[in-house]
Amino acid sequence: MWSFFFFAGTSLAQSVAEPKSLQLNGSTYEIVNRDLSPLDEAGKRGIRFSAGEGAGLAWLTGRTFGEGTIEFDVRGKDVFQRSFVGVAFHGGDNHRYEAVYFRPFNFRATDPVRRIHAVQYVFEPDFGFQKLRDTRKDEFESAIRPVPEPTGWVHTRIEVRAGRVKVYVDGDPTPCLDVPTLNPTPTGVRIGYWVGNNADGDFANLKISPSK
């Protein structure tokens, strides 16, 4: 039985549900508030999230992350407010973690303000996207150049080191987002895929490279 509780002040509705474990394509995931199915396309071997209310997580069992590089391929959809896809790291529990995620429906928006909201960094639950927009406007989200295809695969590389989070897309040598971490002394080490409220999404080819 799944039970859902929603907390005021969070950026996207956060849910409390009993996690379940599932092995797919060689990795074991602890799944929170979603269902997963295997994804196996040409060159893309990974997982597919179902859609649902609140944020969904697929923590990687037996994997940890402190500093280093996270690479993965992700595919969302071009449906307004229905596609939030990314990765969570420094997870302490199912509510406390940092995340970098994309809003593919904003990639090619004609509204320039929406385009600025293409990629986002948050530290839940202390610094969700709404609090950051209210207090540090446009500092922790950005447009992406060159603009990805909203319904296509996006290759993502995230560098987390020396108190900064840098996001690179599709091999571009210039980060589309370069921000200070809002979690300067992380105690959590969990890492996994993340989707936001009402979102599904496809993920593949995760590579975690810790700093030496």
CATH number at residue 124: 2.60.120.560
Adjacent-strand bridge partners of 45: 40
CA-derived radius of gyration, the chain = 16
In a domain, 172, yes or no: yes
Tens of pLDDT, residues 133-185: 999 999 999 999 999 999 999 999 999 999 999 999 999 999 999 999 999 99
Tokens 């987390």 sit on residue: 160
Q: Give CA–CA dist 148/141, Å, rounded.
A: 16
Total domains present in the chain: 1
Residue 167 tokens, joined = 């996001």
Q: Give CA–CA dist 97/93, Å, rounded.
A: 7
Q: Strands of 190-195's sheet, edge to edge?
A: 20-24, 27-32, 56-60, 190-195, 85-91, 97-102, 119-124, 141-142
Alpha helices in 92-191 (DSSP H): 112-116, 129-135
Q: Give CA–CA dist 22/36, Å, rounded.
A: 8
Q: Give CA–CA dist 144/59, Å, rounded.
A: 27
Give the CA angle between residues 117, 190, 88 to the nearest 5°: 10
In a domain, 171, yes or no: yes
In a domain, 56, yes or no: yes
Cα 176 from chain centre? 15
In a domain, 180, yes or no: yes
In a domain, 6, yes or no: no
DSSP code of 84?
A: -
Residue 203 tokens, joined = 């993920």
Residue 194: closest CA among 136, 122, 142, 145: 122
| pLDDT tens-digit profile, the chain (212 residues) | 333 333 333 344 344 456 799 999 889 999 999 999 999 999 999 999 999 999 999 999 999 999 999 999 999 999 999 999 999 999 999 999 999 999 999 999 999 999 999 999 999 999 999 999 999 999 999 999 999 999 999 999 999 999 999 999 999 999 999 999 999 999 999 999 999 999 999 999 999 999 97
In a domain, 45, yes or no: yes
In a domain, 12, yes or no: no
Structural domain for 53, as ranges: 20-210
